[in-house]
Chain A
Amino acid sequence: MSINRRMFVAALTAVIGFAAVQAAPLPALAAEKPSVIRLASFGNPAGKPYGTGAIGVLRAQELLEKEFAADGISIEWQFPRGTGPAINEAIANGQLDFAYYGGLPNIVGRGAGLKTKVVSSYGVSPSYVVARPDAKIASIADLKGKKVATSRGTINELSLFRILEQGGLTPDDIQFFDLQTADQIAAITSGDIDAVVGGGSSVLQLVEQNIATVVFTTKGSPAPGSNFGSFVVTDAFREAYPDLTQRVVNKFVEASYFASDEKNREALFDIWALTGSPRSTFEKDYADEVLKDRQSPLLDDFYRANVTAGVDFAVSQKLIRKPFDVNEWVDDSYLKKALKDYGYENVWTPRDSKGNAVQF
Chain B
Amino acid sequence: MSDVTFKAPVIISDRRPQRAGAGEGAARSWARPWLSDAATRVLLGLVPPLALLALWSYAVRQEWLAEQILPAPFLVYETTRDLLLTGQLADELLVSLARVGAGLAIGGGLGLLFGLAFGLFRTLDLYVAPTVRAFCLVPSLGWLPFFMLVFGIGETLKLVLIAKTCFLPLMVGAYEGLRSRPRKYDEVASALELSWFSRVRLVVWPSILPSILTGVRQALSRGWKVLILVEMIASAAGLGYLMMWGRKAFQLDVVFATMIVIGLVGWALDHALTRFQHRATAWSFKAA
Tell me if B276 counts as interface (CB < 8 A to partner A): no
Tell me if B138 counts as interface (CB < 8 A to partner A): no
Interface string of A91-128 (1 = CB under 8 A from B): 01110000000000100110111100000000000000
Q: How far is the CA of A346 from the CA of B150 in the complex (A)?
A: 54
Question: Which one, B47, B66, B149, B250, contacts A190 given CB within 8 A?
Answer: B149
Question: Which one, A6, A109, A154, A183, contacts B148 given CB within 8 A?
Answer: A183
Interface string of A1-22 (1 = CB under 8 A from B): 0101110110010011001100
Contact A2 B51 (CB under 8 A): no
* CB closest residue in chain B, given A149: B153
Tell me if B11 counts as interface (CB < 8 A to partner A): yes
* CB closest residue in chain B, given A180: B233
Contact A92 B148 (CB under 8 A): no
Contact A183 B69 (CB under 8 A): no
Known: A2-B11, A178-B235, A192-B154. A186 touches B44 (CB 8 A): no
Tell me if B251 counts as interface (CB < 8 A to partner A): yes
* CB closest residue in chain B, given A314: B249
Please count how many residues in chain A sit with their CB below 8 Å of the partner chain's CB atoms: 44
Contact A191 B152 (CB under 8 A): yes
Chain B residues within an 8 Å CB radius of A23: 58, 62, 64
Tell me if A85 counts as interface (CB < 8 A to partner B): yes
Question: Which one, B30, B48, B54, B249, contacts A319 given CB within 8 A?
Answer: B249
Contact B250 A88 (CB under 8 A): yes
Tell me if A187 counts as interface (CB < 8 A to partner B): yes
| Number of A-B contacts defined by CB within 8 Å | 103
Tell me if B67 counts as interface (CB < 8 A to partner A): yes
Q: How far is the CA of A4 from the CA of B31 in the complex (A)?
A: 13
Contact A179 B51 (CB under 8 A): no
A-binding segment of B100-108, B121-129, B193-201, B239-247: B239-247
Tell me if B85 counts as interface (CB < 8 A to partner A): no
Please count how many residues in chain B sit with their CB below 8 Å of the partner chain's CB atoms: 38
Tell me if B187 counts as interface (CB < 8 A to partner A): no
Known: A113-B67, A114-B68, A178-B245. A25 touches B30 (CB 8 A): no
Q: How far is the CA of A111 from the CA of B68 in the complex (A)?
A: 10
Contact A92 B68 (CB under 8 A): yes
Contacts of A170-203 to chain B: CB distance below 8 A: 175-179, 183, 186-187, 189-193
Tell me if A89 counts as interface (CB < 8 A to partner B): yes
Chain B residues within an 8 Å CB radius of A178: 234-236, 241, 244-245, 248
Taking the nearest CB of chain A, how far is it from the CB of B7, in angstroms?
Answer: 13
Chain B residues within an 8 Å CB radius of A191: 152
Contact B153 A193 (CB under 8 A): yes
Question: Which one, A9, A113, A186, A319, contacts B149 given CB within 8 A?
Answer: A186
Question: Which one, A4, A12, A19, A113, contacts B48 given CB within 8 A?
Answer: A12
* CB closest residue in chain A, given B154: A192
Chain A residues within an 8 Å CB radius of B44: 5, 8
Q: How far is the CA of A105 from the CA of B251 in the complex (A)?
A: 12
Contact A179 B62 (CB under 8 A): no
Tell me if B26 counts as interface (CB < 8 A to partner A): yes
Tell me if A153 counts as interface (CB < 8 A to partner B): yes
Chain B residues within an 8 Å CB radius of A38: none
Tell me if A152 counts as interface (CB < 8 A to partner B): yes
Taking the nearest CB of chain B, how far is it from the CB of A8, in angstroms?
Answer: 7
Q: How far is the CA of A114 from the CA of B234 in the complex (A)?
A: 28
Contacts of B59-85 to chain A: CB distance below 8 A: 62-64, 66-69
A residues at B contact (CB < 8 Å): 2, 4-6, 8-9, 12, 15-16, 19-20, 23, 25, 85, 88-89, 92-94, 105, 108-109, 111-114, 152-154, 175-179, 183, 186-187, 189-193, 318-319
- Identify 19 new A-B residue pairs, CB closer than 8 A, beyond the known A112-B250, A192-B154: A2-B11, A5-B30, A5-B44, A9-B47, A12-B47, A25-B62, A25-B63, A105-B250, A108-B249, A112-B68, A152-B248, A153-B250, A154-B248, A176-B236, A177-B153, A178-B248, A179-B153, A183-B153, A187-B234
6 contacts between A and B (CB under 8 A): A4-B26, A25-B64, A89-B250, A176-B236, A178-B241, A187-B234
B residues at A contact (CB < 8 Å): 11, 26-27, 30-31, 44, 47-48, 51, 54-55, 58, 62-64, 66-69, 145, 148-150, 152-154, 233-236, 241, 244-245, 247-251
